Structure 1
Amino acid sequence: MFPTLDGAPPLVIAHRGASGALPEHTLEAYARAALLGADYLEPDLVATRDGALIARHEPDLTDSTDVASRPEFAARRRTAVIDGRVREGWFACDFTLAEVATLRAVQPWPERPQRFNGRFAIPTFDAILALRARLSRRLGRAIGVYPETKHPSWHAAIGLPLEGALVAALARHGLNARAAPVFVQSFEPASLAALAARTPVRKVLLIDGDAVRPDGGVDAGSPYDFVLAGDPRRYSDLVTPEGLAEVRRFADAIGPWKAYIVPALPDPAGGAARLLAPTALIGDAHAAGLAVHAFTFRDEPRWLAADYRGEPAAEYRLFYALGVDGVFSDFAGTALAARRAMAAGVVAR
């Protein structure tokens, strides 16, 4: 038995699909993750000009598609302010779904395989849900879906709210039910509240952070809906026992940056970070009735603290032993292998 909230093995959530191997947020990346054994597929959702939901990490299409090389779209490049930050690029909201369908995905991480660039289309949320159903039948198990509303306040402000379209898609695919293998996630509590009025599926508040301070605390920003409402609270206020009790009123789980659980202090000389003592967050969240799904786990050495000695599985073992209920991983195969080893009582020396 694992020390999770319900004693079940922690979920492996394929972050943007099998994004460590294939261009992220493509049907091919999601299928690869499911075949590896991932429990949930995680699409980030943004809206096109005509209100279709597509899977991209950001509304800006520049880094994850071939749009910059397409002369017919050169004039679409512009500057936008999203959640208070100025960005320049090509934005999904300026393209129709038919135009997005002509684009192809590219790998935005230079250290990851580039040979698949230009081969895969940009999927709609409906296409992902249809793929999920096909793979569930083929593999004989229920594969879950874990969509995120990206920048929901910004989308609402430009007349493309995400929540209604998300719920409508779930309903079309028979997934708008509490027992469905679905979590919906957002960095903004207001988006989860809007979803709560429309759907009974489980909800997750994501908890962002910027850096680890020398004292081990996390420098945290604020949910952008809080900024717009003049609410002075920060994400760090939402992971106190009092904050968690409030979150429990509208969410079933939290999705914190993993440094809220095990801080990793950067090396001033530029070397690998060093782990500090685990915090009380998992225990506090479980006491409030909230599951904890931590992000983001990656295999590349630059993401690993020195304590793990270059072994990604060591990071998973630590978090699984602390009782995390799920992990967002770019490398679902690594996460699953570590989970199997722990379940079998096998621990590397």
Structure 2
Amino acid sequence: MHLIASASASFVTLLVISFIVLSLPVLISGSANDAADRVWPTKDGSPPKLYGHCGERFLMPEHTVASYEIAAIEGADYVEPDLVLTKDGILVCYHDLAMKRATNVADHPEFADRRGNHSVYKDGKPDVVVDDWLIIHFTLDELKTLKVKQQPDGVRPLYFNELFSIATFQEFIDAVHKVSAKENGRAIGIIPELKHPFFHNFVFNSSENFMEEEYLNVLRSNGFPLTQSDEGKCKGVVDSQGSTKDIPCGPLIFQGFDKPSQQYLAQQITLPEIMMNVHPDVYLLTPKGIQEIANFSDYLCIWKEFMYTGVEAEISYRGWQVDADLVSQMGGFLLPHQFVPFGHSLGLKMSLFTIPDSREHSQRGCAVECMDGLDRKNEMFYYFDMGIDSMFVENVPEAMRIRLEYESLLKNNL
């Protein structure tokens, strides 16, 4: 058994190293730091930051330690974990409340009695998860008996299917800091998202903001400075014996879709930046809504199609019911070309989600005149032209190469 495990690990390492070596010209020349003297149409004139969505889910099963390490090695400016809570109140990295899509839980008969329909709270309203398992019904020890499945989208390699377990938030931090320590302290940013904090706080009703406090506690315990009086004391593992060294704490952005949760976090910290994500709460995509976001947030991050097909097209595509009078009172929906300049005028940096690998569509889908799935370079160039400040991406080296190509055009046109 040990020999099989070792062979699998060696095979994984060989394939990953091969991919990264092939990408080295992109990784070296596409750094955001070597272009400070060039002017982009972003808020601060610097190249847009690229966030590794779920780590590097193009190559690895999403939200695994391997996915996070690969995204950091590839050169993502920030690496993103989604966070949910276990039954015993531990933050783990996973995109959904339910487990069937991305784990092999269905292959474990000992958990069959936890399968069913479950009442949850998602996107600001009650919902029902049908015929599935919820992470919050499992302890961490139980979750660690499961394996994460790679999604068979595009050309994603399936060699790594069911090799890795669900990672804890602590394991995510350790993975990113390990890469930083071995790269002589390159400050790799992290951009965690609390998934459905209202639901989790309702389950853990011992305090109103249980999930947020657990999140802040993990960050503090790892040395991240959260206020001006905090001294950054991050560490990274440098060898197989677990030896560590001091490293610079990377930049930190708190992102989320739950406005009360984001406002609470903004009140607790002064150093990390706040990013308010908007998709279903379309009332925030009005002048008054964005002005409200600017009162507590540094970023506005929206579904990219709002800046291509427009808010009304997305509402029609989703079949959402919207109070037209309320929209009118809030100033009406901004048009696609208005979002970035309006956000910038309020001091907000503008972000979007998500640019997939060029050989697949994003799972979210979009309206009829969808930008998603067109030539990826043209898609990214469209948002670069707008002056977008950052974006969530998959296949980080491909995104870096396109960013570098755009930057070259800027340089030649100066």
Tell me the TM-score normalised to structure 1 length: 0.84
**Which residue in 1 is equivalent to 2:128?**
86
Displacement of 1:307 after TM fit? 6.9
- Partners of 2:97 and 2:62 in 1: CA distance: 14
Q: How many residues align?
A: 313
| Letter aligned with residue 106 of structure 2 | A
Displacement of 1:344 after TM fit? 2.0
- Partners of 2:371 and 2:306 in 1: CA distance: 17
Q: Say if 2:81 and 2:191, in contact at 8 Å, map to a contact too.
A: yes
2:99 pairs, out of 61, 76, 100, with 61
1:118 pairs, out of 162, 169, 191, with 162
1:289 pairs, out of 336, 339, 347, with 347
Cα 1:337–1:144 change in 2 (3 A) is: same
Q: Which moved more, 1:305-314 or 1:111-120?
A: 305-314
Q: Deviations over 1:11-65 (max 9, x none)?
A: 1000001111211001111111112110111111000011100000012111111
Q: Which moved more, 1:189-198 or 1:92-101?
A: 189-198
Indicate yes or no: 2:70 matched with 1:11. no
The 3-state SS of whatever aligns with 1:32 is helix
The 3-state SS of whatever aligns with 1:86 is strand
Cα 1:345–1:165 change in 2 (3 A) is: same
- Partners of 1:16 and 1:47 in 2: CA distance: 17
Q: Deviations over 1:311-334 (max 9, x none)?
A: 212211111121111110122122
Displacement of 1:146 after TM fit? 0.6
**Which residue in 2 is equivalent to 1:203?**
274
Q: Say if 2:343 and 2:349, in contact at 8 Å, map to a contact too.
A: yes
Displacement of 1:70 after TM fit? 1.0
Cα 1:178–1:248 change in 2 (3 A) is: farther
Query: Gaps (5+ residues) in structure 2?
Result: 1-38, 229-249, 315-334
- Partners of 2:299 and 2:282 in 1: CA distance: 16
Q: Deviations over 1:274-327 (max 9, x none)?
A: xxx842001111111111110011123545977788421221111112111111
Query: Gaps (5+ residues) in structure 1?
Result: 209-220, 222-234, 267-276
The 3-state SS of whatever aligns with 1:38 is coil
| Letter aligned with residue 169 of structure 1 | V
Indicate yes or no: 2:90 matched with 1:31. no
The 3-state SS of whatever aligns with 1:279 is helix
Cα 1:308–1:29 change in 2 (3 A) is: closer
Q: Which moved more, 1:246-255 or 1:236-245?
A: 236-245
In the TM superposition, 1:1-349 aligns within 5 A as: 1-83=39-121, 84-88=126-130, 89-111=132-154, 112-140=156-184, 141-159=186-204, 161-177=210-226, 181-200=251-270, 201-208=272-279, 221=280, 235-263=281-309, 278-298=336-356, 299-302=358-361, 310-345=374-409
- Partners of 1:317 and 1:54 in 2: CA distance: 35
- Partners of 1:247 and 1:35 in 2: CA distance: 33
| Letter aligned with residue 162 of structure 2 | G
Q: Say if 1:241 and 1:285, in contact at 8 Å, map to a contact too.
A: no
Q: CA RMSD in A?
A: 2.3
Q: Deviations over 1:212-246 (max 9, x none)?
A: xxxxxxxxx3xxxxxxxxxxxxx332122222111
Q: Say if 1:297 and 1:331, in contact at 8 Å, map to a contact too.
A: no
Cα 1:287–1:306 change in 2 (3 A) is: closer
Greater share of helix: 2
**Which residue in 2 is equivalent to 1:228?**
none
| Letter aligned with residue 44 of structure 1 | D
Q: Deviations over 1:178-220 (max 9, x none)?
A: 6851111111111112212323321111111xxxxxxxxxxxx
| Letter aligned with residue 36 of structure 1 | E
